[in-house]
Structure 1
Amino acid sequence: MRSISILLAGASCLVTVPAFAEESADAEITVTGIRQAYQGAFEAKEVPQAVSVISSETLEDNNILRLTDALDLNASVSRQNNFGGLWDSYAVRGFAGDDNLPSGYLVNGFNGGRGFGGSRDVAGVERIEVLKGPAAALYGRGEPGGTVNIITKQAEFDALKVNASGLFGSFDRVRFDADANLPVGESIAVRLIGFFEKSDSFRTTVDSKRYGFLPSVALKLAEDTVLSYELEWTHSEADFDRGIVAPGGNLNAMPRRNFLGEPGDGPLEAKVTGHQLQLQHAFSDDWSVLIGTSYRETDLEGFSSEAELASGRQFLGRPATPNVLSRQRRFRDYEGEHFVVRGELSGDFELGGLRNRLLVGVDYDEFDNGQLFQRFRPASVTATSTEAAQYAINILNPVYGRFPLPVTGPLTNRLDQQKAYGFYLQDQISLSDALQVRIGLRYDDYDVRSLNRATSVSQNRSFSRVSPQFGLVVKASEAVSFYAAYGEGFRSNLGARANGDVFDPEFSKSFEAGAKFGLFDNSLSGTISLFNLKKRNVLAADVANPGFSIPVGKAGSTGLEFDLAGRLPGDVDLLFSYAYVDAEAKADVLDPNFSLQIRSGDPLINIPKHSLNAQLSKRFTIGDDRGLTFGAGIQHVSERLGETATNFFLPSYTLVRAFAKAELIEGLEVFGDVKNLFNETYFTNSFARLWVAPGSPRAFTVGARVSF
């Protein structure tokens, strides 16, 4: 298999660095786990970049089960169109990427969000890092607003640990999780993680089921060498749900509970099979090498019935049919195949009396994106149009199965392939005890092929790019440091123009400056940052060829962030995150989906200017050192544009949550939480007035957790 040969080639290139092992031959080095690629060894105050971490304890306290819900805890991240709830889509600092694809998060530094594996479950997640700002010069091929990196729970050598939990909640939710870390002798460890969940919804007839198995194995080849393997195998089924409609912008035109699809379509199924293999070797305390490969297959398949968005084909709002919605029926079979291999050398050394912390790496990334898309679409409305011909449903009183399910016809059958080779170098130089400079660059060589499988016509395009980065860190005191950073990057646009030419990539520039500080002997840490981001070659409508796009758009985002986390006096835990984001178009273009006029200065869709998330919790000791924890949090999201190039805005909302847990006996804990405590009506995201995602009403959860 090609992945094996490439991995061996990369390993042979990087492992042949013999001098470092000889210099520290007498040193005792013990490697206990796999470090994170692309990051190096730095204290938080030494990094010229805003970084927020969501721990597994925070996820557990809030009973968070999805990546999207976890990212709500950070105000810099805003929800985007999530494809009927079947994938993760979000923007960091106002930039979301391609709204027709899932957001590209990382898993242990490997691209894990590309493809169609459904929404990410948090089972097996150790922590979630929101790496904001100009990091593209290191990671490459990403959005300038930032990157989300999921760190998974991996096999550990130290001790036997077993955790299991079960919960029951509103809308008939049932879930079971298990996590067992099993050391086998001193050199082998196995970790077995699994989950199962089944739930209905506040939306009539909509339900879901998901399960997965996430094992990992660690093998200590020597005191200074660890090999790890991790499997991701998940399956999810969910009814496709575009949400409610807001004719004329009226969000109260129908009950939130009414489902406007067809139960007869059955669920869409999403499947993931992924593998990660990593080898870490320490030559000394100061030099190490990390080699890894990842291979991930995803598949999304099924039928759906959705609101027709073209006004000329739509019954809804007409005098004779004010509450009757014309619908499309669609079939999708989306497949993703993603392969990555990388190698990284990390070193800490002195040169000319100055400390240097160096990262040098290479990576290869290959992504195949296959899309088979079929559609039935109602004809333009005439005086003789019937509800059957329009595949219509009443939004106030939906009757399912009223008409035979329409047969879908071919629309798209294409395969987009991307291959990229990258080289990166970063050096952080300590000019003095108080001043550090970071210099880095990344070179990428990219090849894109777009094949129309229906016509066998294909187009190829190759390009290369050098993305520099610069950073400065000034240590004002033991508690305060200031930083500034600049970086450039790019992201490939999938697809092709009307003439078949592959799109140019997006190019970006980003700048941020801020301060990091610690309070109460660093038990409370915070970051305040200012940022300015720009990108060009954003896709816009091709006026001469309706239905096609061209890369001519521009966008920008400026803002301020304030993040604070840790422990206050009185042993009160605090989590606080606020963001002001002004994200807008920077050129007059036509929107690629509906060819509506976008003006320079128009806000970007689904980006609130103000977001806030705050949480307080406290643990009390009762009896024989038993713990009782209470906590509460609040989330505020200001109004945001709900449809590009229009004046349709989703209203602001404020949600309150509360949680508690109690240790009954050693190793047995009960927990509970309530979300949307005051049962507020709200809307999380939108693509158009007829595709609006309503938020859940008040929901309760109770459960128990055992560990030993």
Structure 2
Amino acid sequence: MSRRKPSLHKPASLRMRSQPANATFGGVALGLTAAMLVPLAAQAQSGESVMPAIKVEGKKIDPNPNAEVGVPYKAKTSGDVRHTRPLAETPQVITVITRDALDDSGQTQMTSILDSVPGITLGTGENGNAFGDRYIIRGQEARSDVFVDGLRDPGMTTRESFAIEQLEISKGPNSSFAGRGTAGGAINAITKQATLDYDFTRINTGFGSDDYMRITVDSNRVVTDDIAVRVNALWGEEDVPDRSPANRSRKGLALSGLYEISRDLSVTLDYYGLRAKDKPDLGSYMVGAGTRSRPAANTPVYTQAQDFIKSDVDTLTARVKWDIAPDTHLTSSTRYGETSNGYVTTGAVYRGTAVASDGSTYTPVQLDNHQGWQEVKYFAHQTNLRHDTVLAGMKHELIGSVEYTDHKVDKGNYSLGYTGATNCTLRNATTGATSGGYCIYDPSGNTVNGLNTLMGRTITKGAQTNAWHIRTLAASVMDTVDLTDRWTAFGGLRLDHFRWSLDVLNSGTNNGSYKYSDTLVNAHGGLTYKLTPKGIVYASVASAADINGGEADAGTNSGYGGVIISNGSVAGAKPEKSLNYELGTKWNLLDDKLLATAAVFETTKRDVMEGNGYATVGSFNSGKNRVKGVEFNVVGNVTDDLTASVGGVWMKSKVLESATATNVGRPLSNFADKSAFAQLKYRFVPDFSAGSTVRYESARCAGQPDTAAGYVLATGECSWLVPAYHVVDFFGSYRVNKNMDIRVNVLNAFNKDFYLAAYRSGSYVYKGDARAVRVTLSYEL
């Protein structure tokens, strides 16, 4: 490893720190103790030149500029430059998952990582009415509220973590930072960037059960004093644990090039590419009803040979950082991206009547289809100008931002043919007519032979059905001001003016062109009081707004965020508005090595645009709901040997108003009242550490997003209940030598059956991964 001389404008985690003991440079502890320094001074007075022994303790250098030095699970600052204060002083709950925490957990898929975050549940993504991974934050739809380095990532793809430095989840309405949407919060991935500070190459090679293989490379090279490049690469294959022939494939490349034009001006160019292809396993299906409903046990893998979920992602990003003056700084980001997403998957549904060969009838488990494709092109530019000044004797950190985005989505379906012979005869309960079908079990309940090739599909990409387009011009201003030595205020205001259009093509009576424009105004305010130098209490209020037709993948499906049409044109719906009140406290403890956060919150969403089943025409601005709860988090080093990340959320949701009277008083769908997570790591000896993660989610009802859970009216029970679960993982790592580490992860160590989400009809239920064992060798050149 080579290192250039330290620079004062480099990240604090990489600079020499002036400390009397245990000084660090680049993450290496020098270990000078007071006992060493006293004889050293005496020897200096006597003219002796004998030096005491210096203990050097090697530690992995962390290239993350937002890291807390020497605390692997704790971030000190946000990667979003608009958060001008450390996380411990920011009046909002922001959960940060560092690279070290990600590595120790053994999780690589974004769905698994975010499912561990208290307050986040998963929805049925690719196979419901949404493409890509789908997240729900504090009960509110967030599938379009994913950002990369502060810019919205609208591709709605299968997402990976190999190029992520840290992952930030802002809780609560966030439109003053993020723009439209963000009613429950936002997810911001901070990516790995080239650095001029030192060279390194890290190679991780993983293997394990279920034919798991994963290789990643992270290499940074200082080409000249002014130019650095960083390469991150990924190749991975695995069978879904205990669910073969279902499998996953990932190939990725992230390139970052930094050119430091001067000490005050630098330019970074990035490329990110991902090729993700799965043969998906939809897990199970619902049986029973109400609180007696449950995912069917021991369901065979009914994935068909032709099934796939595929995401291709290509993005280019240019960043400029310019220190115009000591107190004035400009950051600018420009991105162009294209993604291509498609899926053909098989669900199972437990309903209807089938006729056996002897004429008897039985209730079959039938196979059905979920499919679609979309192609996304987007352009985004954001410029932030920060100016620190003193006005009226008070310190101000002023930030002005402008942002422009142009986002286009073309959407269509696949044409499916079948070469496989039907294996059951289905009877229509109303008409009595019969037709051939595909069933998982025979009349005796035995799994049919050749289940995975039963349908024999032929797949052809069909014509485009929707062309969705939105252009947005936004401006915002924010200020953080120290009112006194103890009181600090934050305020932000953002305006988003958008032009929206949708062309519906080749879809029968729904053909048409729809367009409209509007301006959204959102604000965010916070007040903190410093109880001690290390502890604050805060109060904040923030708003969010979403628009009619804001979900690009939903078209005219009003039940999933698609546009509501009235009298042949876009309905005159007002924007949905969310307002969040939060009271909290944050404490930087144990010499800033442990951050404890606790908050109570209440979010009310009004003027909700409710869907009318799957119909184009829905009810607009007729709904209102509320989520309130308590959240706590503790992250950092409890002792020199014990590292922890622990959090929990207790929430309640309630529909306050609805066009459907029976919805009032019910909880939201896809909403877990309680969720918790703990990741603990203990260093037994300098070279060996071991730990465990535990995650818990309470039961939740399936249903449409942002609306009441479906109920069986006769019993007052939810129609499809996803049961509560808790899952335990174990991990351990051993440093073989200064260049090599080995880590073992045992995921779902007790091989527990658990389920993540259910489709609103119960026709499939996502099954969590069974036990998996993974071994990772890390080598640093």
Report the Cα distance in structure 2 between the residues aligned to 1:437 and 1:158, rounded to whole angstroms. 35
- Residues 314-329 of structure 1 correspond to what in structure 2 (within 5 A)? 322=362, 324-329=364-369
Alignment match, 1:9 = none
Report the Cα distance in structure 2 between the residues aligned to 1:619 and 1:287, rounded to whole angstroms. 43
Equivalent residue for 1:219, pick from 251, 255, 259: 259
Alignment match, 1:483 = 538
Equivalent residue for 2:312, pick from 271, 280, 292: 271
* Alpha-carbon spacing, 1:489–1:379, altered in 2? closer, same or farther (3 Å): farther
Report the Cα distance in structure 2 between the residues aligned to 1:270 and 1:655, rounded to whole angstroms. 28
Are 2:92 and 1:45 aligned? no
Alignment match, 1:298 = 339
Q: Contact 1:56–1:127 at 8 Å: present in 2 too?
A: yes
Q: Contact 1:659–1:674 at 8 Å: present in 2 too?
A: yes
* Alpha-carbon spacing, 1:275–1:145, altered in 2? closer, same or farther (3 Å): same
Report the Cα distance in structure 2 between the residues aligned to 1:163 and 1:198, rounded to whole angstroms. 20
- Residues 418-457 of structure 1 correspond to what in structure 2 (within 5 A)? 418-454=470-506, 457=512
Are 2:161 and 1:110 aligned? no
Alignment match, 1:526 = 596
Q: Aligned to 2:112, what secondary structure does the other structure show?
A: helix
Alignment match, 1:697 = 770
Q: Contact 1:138–1:442 at 8 Å: present in 2 too?
A: yes
Are 2:393 and 1:353 aligned? yes
- Residues 139-218 of structure 1 correspond to what in structure 2 (within 5 A)? 139-201=178-240, 202-218=242-258
Alignment match, 2:447 = 397
Q: Is the deviation greater in 487-496 or in 57-66?
A: 487-496
Which amino acid is 2:499 matched to? D
Equivalent residue for 1:616, pick from 640, 663, 680: 680
Which amino acid is 2:237 matched to? K
- Residues 82-97 of structure 1 correspond to what in structure 2 (within 5 A)? 82-84=125-127, 87-97=132-142
Q: Contact 1:541–1:589 at 8 Å: present in 2 too?
A: no
Equivalent residue for 1:549, pick from 598, 612, 618: 618
Q: Aligned to 1:425, what secondary structure does the other structure show?
A: strand
Report the Cα distance in structure 2 between the residues aligned to 1:410 and 1:570, rounded to whole angstroms. 59
Report the Cα distance in structure 2 between the residues aligned to 1:326 and 1:381, rounded to whole angstroms. 15
Q: Deviations over 1:600-656 (max 9, x none)?
A: 22122222111111122112335xxxx111111211111111343121322211111
Which amino acid is 1:632 matched to? S
Q: Deviations over 1:275-307 (max 9, x none)?
A: 111101002232101111111111112433334
Alignment match, 2:27 = none
Alignment match, 1:14 = none
Which amino acid is 2:304 matched to? E
Q: Aligned to 2:769, what secondary structure does the other structure show?
A: coil
Are 2:697 and 1:645 aligned? no
Report the Cα distance in structure 2 between the residues aligned to 1:603 and 1:479, rounded to whole angstroms. 38
Q: Contact 1:269–1:301 at 8 Å: present in 2 too?
A: yes
* Alpha-carbon spacing, 1:369–1:568, altered in 2? closer, same or farther (3 Å): same
Aligned-pair CA distance for 1:259:
2.4
* Alpha-carbon spacing, 1:229–1:315, altered in 2? closer, same or farther (3 Å): farther
Report the Cα distance in structure 1 between the residues aligned to 2:427 and 2:375, rounded to whole angstroms. 30
Which amino acid is 2:85 matched to? F
Report the Cα distance in structure 1 between the residues aligned to 2:633 and 2:456, rounded to whole angstroms. 53
- Residues 379-390 of structure 1 correspond to what in structure 2 (within 5 A)? 380=428, 388=436, 390=437
Report the Cα distance in structure 2 between the residues aligned to 1:578 and 1:320, rounded to whole angstroms. 52
Q: Aligned to 2:176, what secondary structure does the other structure show?
A: helix
Which amino acid is 2:126 matched to? F
Which amino acid is 2:697 matched to? V
Q: Is the deviation greater in 246-255 or in 642-651?
A: 246-255
**Equivalent pairs, count:** 659
Q: Contact 1:117–1:298 at 8 Å: present in 2 too?
A: yes
Report the Cα distance in structure 1 between the residues aligned to 2:234 and 2:322, rounded to whole angstroms. 33
Q: Aligned to 2:470, what secondary structure does the other structure show?
A: strand
Q: Deviations over 1:517-573 (max 9, x none)?
A: 122233211110111112234342338x94543433322211110000111135211
Which amino acid is 2:162 matched to? A
Q: Deviations over 1:443-501 (max 9, x none)?
A: 11111101012276211111112112211111111121011111112123423334443
Q: Contact 2:473–2:498 at 8 Å: present in 1 too?
A: yes
Report the Cα distance in structure 2 between the residues aligned to 1:613 and 1:672, rounded to whole angstroms. 20
Q: Aligned to 1:601, what secondary structure does the other structure show?
A: coil
Report the Cα distance in structure 2 between the residues aligned to 1:542 and 1:606, rounded to whole angstroms. 18
Q: Contact 2:282–2:767 at 8 Å: present in 1 too?
A: no
**TM-score normalised to the size of structure 2?**
0.79
Which amino acid is 1:75 matched to? P
Equivalent residue for 1:122, pick from 146, 149, 161: 161
Equivalent residue for 1:262, pick from 280, 304, 320: 304
Which amino acid is 1:367 matched to? H
* Alpha-carbon spacing, 1:336–1:322, altered in 2? closer, same or farther (3 Å): farther
Aligned-pair CA distance for 1:236:
1.1
Which amino acid is 1:442 matched to? R
Which amino acid is 2:174 matched to? A
Aligned-pair CA distance for 1:94:
2.0
* Alpha-carbon spacing, 1:253–1:572, altered in 2? closer, same or farther (3 Å): closer
Aligned-pair CA distance for 1:46:
2.4
Which amino acid is 1:645 matched to? G
Aligned-pair CA distance for 1:375:
6.7
Q: Deviations over 1:216-269 (max 9, x none)?
A: 111101100110111111101112433311122466674445223421x24232
Q: Deviations over 1:113-158 (max 9, x none)?
A: x22432x111011101111224321221132321111111111101
Q: Contact 1:560–1:579 at 8 Å: present in 2 too?
A: yes
Q: Contact 1:38–1:138 at 8 Å: present in 2 too?
A: no
Q: Contact 2:257–2:269 at 8 Å: present in 1 too?
A: yes
- Residues 564-603 of structure 1 correspond to what in structure 2 (within 5 A)? 564-589=634-659, 599-603=663-667
Which amino acid is 2:115 matched to? D
Alignment match, 1:17 = none
Report the Cα distance in structure 1 between the residues aligned to 2:751 and 2:250, rounded to whole angstroms. 26
Alignment match, 1:20 = none
Q: Contact 2:610–2:618 at 8 Å: present in 1 too?
A: yes
Residue segments in structure 1 that go unaligned for 5+ positions in a row: 1-27, 591-596
Aligned-pair CA distance for 1:352:
0.9
* Alpha-carbon spacing, 1:59–1:364, altered in 2? closer, same or farther (3 Å): same
Q: Aligned to 2:141, what secondary structure does the other structure show?
A: coil
* Alpha-carbon spacing, 1:314–1:303, altered in 2? closer, same or farther (3 Å): farther
Q: Contact 2:295–2:765 at 8 Å: present in 1 too?
A: no
Which amino acid is 1:472 matched to? L
Aligned-pair CA distance for 1:397:
1.0
Q: Aligned to 1:70, what secondary structure does the other structure show?
A: helix
Identity in percent: 22
Q: Contact 1:559–1:581 at 8 Å: present in 2 too?
A: yes
Residue segments in structure 2 that go unaligned for 5+ positions in a row: 1-6, 12-64, 67-77, 418-425, 550-561, 704-708, 712-717
Aligned-pair CA distance for 1:693:
0.9
Aligned-pair CA distance for 1:381:
5.1
Alignment match, 1:657 = 729
Which amino acid is 1:704 matched to? L
Q: Contact 1:635–1:656 at 8 Å: present in 2 too?
A: yes
The structure with the larger Rg is 2
Q: Contact 1:29–1:285 at 8 Å: present in 2 too?
A: no
